[in-house]
Structure 1
Amino acid sequence: MLPAPFRLFFAAVPLLVAAGALTMAAFPRKMTSWQTRSPDGSTQRIEPSDTRILMMRVMGVVVAALALFMLYGVFTVIP
């Protein structure tokens, strides 16, 4: 049996990964928009394509599911 700080670490990391992945899936445009400035001082906003947004949403859900499965596995394997 592992001490409590290790169990907390093995529980907190998958939860943080799942939260970040779900944030990426929910708000992909805010996470990937860029603003550039040219030498003449004008600004330009760079937005990702719709296919990239869709893939970010899908991968965010997949990564969150894997992280939650890992959390379940931690409490199943390490009682």
Structure 2
Amino acid sequence: MLPAPFRLFFVAVPLLVSAGALAMAAFPRKMTSWQTRSPDGSTQTIEPSDTRILMMRVMGVVVAALALLMVFANFAFIP
């Protein structure tokens, strides 16, 4: 049996990864839009294409599912 700090590490890190992945899946435009400023002072917003947004949503859900699977698998392997 591992000490409590190690068990906390193996639970906390996948939970943080899953939270970040779900945030990326839920708000891909907010997390990837850029604002550029030209020398004359005007600004322009750069946003990714719709295909990239779709892939970010899908991969965010996949990564979150794998991270949550790691959390539950840790309890099976590390009692």
Query: Where does the alignment leave 5 or more consecutive residues of structure 1 unmatched?
Result: none
Number of residues paired by the alignment?
Answer: 79
Query: Where does the alignment leave 5 or more consecutive residues of structure 2 unmatched?
Result: none
Q: How does the TM-score come out when normalised to structure 2?
A: 0.98
CA RMSD of aligned residues (A): 0.5
Q: How does the TM-score come out when normalised to structure 1?
A: 0.98
Q: What does the per-residue CA deviation read over 1:33-72, in whole Å, with 9 as the maximum and x for residues that have no partner?
A: 0000011111000011000000000000000000011111
Task: Tell me the equivalent position of 2:57.
Answer: 57
Identity of paired residues, percent?
86
Q: What does the per-residue CA deviation read over 1:15-48, in whole Å, with 9 as the maximum and x for residues that have no partner?
A: 0000000000000000000000011111000011
Task: Find runs of 4+ consecutive structure 1 residues off by over 2 angstroms.
Answer: none
Task: Tell me the equivalent position of 1:16.
Answer: 16
